[in-house]
Structure 1
Amino acid sequence: MDAKSFKLLLLGGAVRLYFSRTPLASLIGDRVEFATPLNSYKRMQEGVFLLEHDIDPYSGDLVHESPLVLKGLSWIFLNYASYLPLLYILLDLLTAGLLWIMSHWFVKHKLQEQRLERKHYANDTEELQYHNEDNYDIPELVLMAYLFNPLTIMSCIGLTSTVFSNIFLALFFFALVKGYLLPCLILLAFESVRSFYPIVLISPLLLVFARRSYWRGFCIGLLFAAACIAIMAANYLVMNSWNFLDGTLGFIFYFRDLQPNIGLFWYFFTEMFEHFRAMFLITFQLNATVLYLVPLSIKLRKEPLLLATVLVALMSVFRAYPSLGDVGFYLALMPMWKRCWKYMAHGFVVFAFFLISLSMMGALWHLWIYAGSANANFYFGATLAFCTGQIFLITDLLFAQVKRQFCLYNGQKIMIDGEEARIILE
């Protein structure tokens, strides 16, 4: 890491440290946009206390963190609670550093790949190609997008366990780019057992390591299943009970807590008749996992890292208990696709969606819960607009990548009957 990036890292840490010592930290820890039943600091604190007093944390409906995470954090929670903000800040900085290294290796790989394919590129595509300066510019943009995004900063100072999810995902992306199969499998298995939805990232993992070998892919699938079983067994050894499965994965799949958040589940399951619950539950969970997996994997089979980025983004939109910290993570990955930005047509629309919906959430929550002059429809309208903005961003990125790939080989100016044609995807 160069001196400038290291200074940015220190500045990002200083910003987090400053805000962690203000009243904003406790306020963010109570906001439903950041703290969900899965990642709330208070719930994790309760889980650690119960575990240390030999009480099953999963016998009630309050704690939903993995037993291994609770056990691993119990010592610092019980003995050095005042230093917890420093731990979260250090982990967040480590996540930023891993993303910097990962994006640097990504650009290096793209340049090598480009040298082999450049002879097939059209003449007017220089601005669409990766250049040597991208080795510095793109990692720096990724670093800044993570360190100084208000969503990641507030998620960190609110002591949400999204910080742990982000570092596990950053480690997974790093191992994926470097080609480390075993760390990839272990990290993905751990995060899948912990929060269910990352299991879809098995697809980019197979695209990187299977290399069109069905037998190799089958073996990797068996190793992944074995890693999941081993992690479940380790959780069992901590608890001496299988209750944690229902308290973690079961809680996520069956969506038992209707606390409002920035997602789409809570409003529908609050309003629907109970006899429709099973049908909608299966539909929503399929939408959040396998519905887009196969078509995206086929289309992006040559771009596994883009596939992983899109899947993480879709998880952040459609999962049962999303938080703004999840959104902040995938937004930090967007600068890696800097060469697609020329064809991203909805930048202003997405920015307007994000700015207005995020600004309205706090006001509409106050009107609904405290002032009593609004209802759930108002708040859900803001969260629905925010999810719509995210979908616009994801589809815009996918369309831009398709247009870039087409123009690299066919040129940016397509002439038909002597006139320049427009490329329109429908």
Structure 2
Amino acid sequence: MNTKFIYSVFLSGLIRYLLSISKYSKSIENHVEVSTPLNSFKRVKEGAFLYANDVDPYEGDVYHENPFILFTTSFLLKNMSGMIPIIIILLDLLTAIFIYLGTKAISENNFEKQQKNLSTYAENTTEIQLKKADTIEIPTYCALAYLFNPYSILNCVGLTTTVISNFLLSIMIFSLSRNMKILCILSLAIETQKNFYSFVLIVPVALRFSESSKSKVISRILTIIAFLITLLSLHCLSFQMMKSFNFIDSTYGFIIHCRELLPNIGLFWYFFTEMFDHFRNLFLYTFQLNSTILYLLPLTFTFKDSPEFLLTILLSLISVFRSYPCVGDIAFCMSLIPLWKRIFQFMSHNFIVVAAFLVTSILGPTVYHLWMYANSANANFYFGVTLVFCTANIFLLTDLTFAYLKMEFCLKNGISFDKSLKLSLD
């Protein structure tokens, strides 16, 4: 790590700390773009209070985190409650550091792959190939994209448990890039116990670990089996801690059935508020399939040779289509986009996406205030903003996907620029 990056880490930590002790911290913590029924710090404190008074927090409909977070937060609130904001900030900074280390290893690995495949590339493709300098710049851009992203800063100041999810995902990416199989599977299993949707990430993980194996199919199967055994072991350990399996319904059941239709930046809440009850299950499972396995097979077949890019796409899909998304999920996905900087010149919707993010990020809180406090708007206004926000995410996702495919095609078939600067294929 260079000195400038270390200074950036301290500066971003200072920004987070100053905001956490400011008068705006409570407002940020309570905002629907930041806190959801799954990650709200208020609900974490409520669950810890119930547990401390010998009441099972999973019997009600307030607490929806896994038992490991319940035990940890109960201990922290009892013994060092004043240090919780500092701990959250440190976890967020560690997330950026792991992103830096992980993306650095991925960039170096991609550069080595490119050097081995140079003979298969067309002659005039030097300008779209990965450069040695990129292996130094890309991890810095990725870390900075997380450290100074307003979404990740708000997520940290809001004390959401999404900070823990991002930390676990960063460890997974770091260990994946360094071929640390046990740590990667363990971190993914813990995150999957917390967030149901993360189970699809085992596919790119299995693809990545099978690259150096002689029998790729057997390696992938063994990786998936190891993940399932680890996840089952975590559930059994949670049962020993809680003496019941109530936590499964309060975590997975709550996420899948979307029991609280509170406003958020996702698509579920408004749609199912307006849904007739006898159609609810049909559309509920359709939405959940869309969030998990609907795109898994086609994307896996398309990007089986680039598991890291597949991981980026799946993370983005989860952050958009999950039942209770927040800005913290979006921030983590955005931090991985610089990893694919060489495909930026093939993207065609940059202005639309950036403009949509800026406009909706400003309009969202504004319209929500008009709806809830000024009584001069309604749910349609707020949902309209969140719909545009999700559309911008989808535009970004599809643009990245097609840009990657264009780049791969151009590397094999050649690329040239005419005098009008229009891209043409040989």
Query: TM-score surpassing 0.5?
Result: yes
Given that 2:97 and 2:143 are in contact with CA atoms closer than 8 Å, whether structure 1 keeps it comes out as yes
SS of the residue corresponding to residue 59 of structure 1 reads coil
| Aligned-partner Cα distance in 2 for 1:59–1:47 | 10
| Aligned-partner Cα distance in 2 for 1:394–1:115 | 28
Q: Which residue of 1 aligns with 2:322?
A: 319
| Aligned pairs (5 A) from 1:235-254 | 235-254=238-257
Q: Which residue of 2 aligns with 1:277?
A: 280
Question: 1:64: how far off?
Answer: 0.3
Amino acid at match of 2:315: V
Question: 1:346: how far off?
Answer: 0.7
Q: Which residue of 2 aligns with 1:222?
A: 225
Q: Which residue of 1 aligns with 2:188?
A: 188
Amino acid at match of 2:109: H
Between 311-320 and 130-139, the greater mean CA deviation after superposition: 130-139
Amino acid at match of 1:191: E
Amino acid at match of 1:376: A
TM-score by length of 2: 0.96
| Aligned pairs (5 A) from 1:12-411 | 12-211=12-211, 213-411=216-414
Provide, for residues 160-210 of structure 1, a one-character-per-residue CA deviation record: whole Å limited to 9, x for no partner.
011000000001111111112211211111111211000010110121123
Given that 2:44 and 2:73 are in contact with CA atoms closer than 8 Å, whether structure 1 keeps it comes out as no
Provide, for residues 265-293 of structure 1, a one-character-per-residue CA deviation record: whole Å limited to 9, x for no partner.
00011001101111011100000000010
Between 176-185 and 306-315, the greater mean CA deviation after superposition: 176-185
SS of the residue corresponding to residue 164 of structure 2 reads helix
Given that 1:414 and 1:421 are in contact with CA atoms closer than 8 Å, whether structure 2 keeps it comes out as yes
SS of the residue corresponding to residue 58 of structure 1 reads coil
Question: 1:413: how far off?
Answer: 2.2
SS of the residue corresponding to residue 302 of structure 1 reads coil
TM-score by length of 1: 0.96
Amino acid at match of 1:314: L
Q: Gaps (5+ residues) in structure 2?
A: none
SS of the residue corresponding to residue 293 of structure 2 reads coil
Between 387-396 and 68-77, the greater mean CA deviation after superposition: 68-77
Structure 1 residues 133 and 414: alpha-carbon distance in aligned structure 2, compared to 1, 3 A threshold? closer
Amino acid at match of 2:314: L
Given that 1:413 and 1:420 are in contact with CA atoms closer than 8 Å, whether structure 2 keeps it comes out as no
SS of the residue corresponding to residue 413 of structure 1 reads strand
Question: 1:110: how far off?
Answer: 1.4
Q: Gaps (5+ residues) in structure 1?
A: none
Given that 2:95 and 2:166 are in contact with CA atoms closer than 8 Å, whether structure 1 keeps it comes out as yes
Between 387-396 and 103-112, the greater mean CA deviation after superposition: 103-112
Amino acid at match of 1:111: F
SS of the residue corresponding to residue 373 of structure 1 reads coil
| Aligned-partner Cα distance in 2 for 1:250–1:126 | 51
SS of the residue corresponding to residue 23 of structure 1 reads coil
Provide, for residues 82-128 of structure 1, a one-character-per-residue CA deviation record: whole Å limited to 9, x for no partner.
11110000000000000000111111111211111112222222221
| Aligned-partner Cα distance in 1 for 2:180–2:82 | 36
Question: 1:5: how far off?
Answer: 1.0
Question: 1:221: how far off?
Answer: 2.1
Between 237-246 and 379-388, the greater mean CA deviation after superposition: 237-246
RMSD, matched Cα: 1.7
Question: 1:397: how far off?
Answer: 0.6
Given that 1:44 and 1:70 are in contact with CA atoms closer than 8 Å, whether structure 2 keeps it comes out as yes
SS of the residue corresponding to residue 37 of structure 1 reads coil
| Aligned-partner Cα distance in 1 for 2:421–2:152 | 42
Provide, for residues 136-158 of structure 1, a one-character-per-residue CA deviation record: whole Å limited to 9, x for no partner.
21111111100000000010011
Given that 2:417 and 2:424 are in contact with CA atoms closer than 8 Å, whether structure 1 keeps it comes out as no
| Aligned-partner Cα distance in 2 for 1:113–1:217 | 21
Provide, for residues 199-229 of structure 1, a one-character-per-residue CA deviation record: whole Å limited to 9, x for no partner.
0101101211234632332222222111111
Aligned length in residues: 422
| Aligned-partner Cα distance in 1 for 2:395–2:348 | 10
Q: Which residue of 1 aligns with 2:11?
A: 11
| Aligned-partner Cα distance in 1 for 2:140–2:208 | 25
Between 289-298 and 403-412, the greater mean CA deviation after superposition: 403-412
Given that 1:68 and 1:234 are in contact with CA atoms closer than 8 Å, whether structure 2 keeps it comes out as no
SS of the residue corresponding to residue 99 of structure 1 reads helix
Q: Taking every aligned residue pair, what percent have the same amino acid on both sides? A: 43
Question: 1:131: how far off?
Answer: 1.2
Given that 1:130 and 1:339 are in contact with CA atoms closer than 8 Å, whether structure 2 keeps it comes out as yes
Question: 1:78: how far off?
Answer: 1.5
SS of the residue corresponding to residue 244 of structure 2 reads coil
| Aligned-partner Cα distance in 2 for 1:189–1:234 | 13
Amino acid at match of 1:245: I
SS of the residue corresponding to residue 373 of structure 2 reads helix
Between 88-97 and 120-129, the greater mean CA deviation after superposition: 120-129
SS of the residue corresponding to residue 24 of structure 2 reads helix
Provide, for residues 285-344 of structure 1, a one-character-per-residue CA deviation record: whole Å limited to 9, x for no partner.
000000010000110101101100110111000000000010000101110001011111
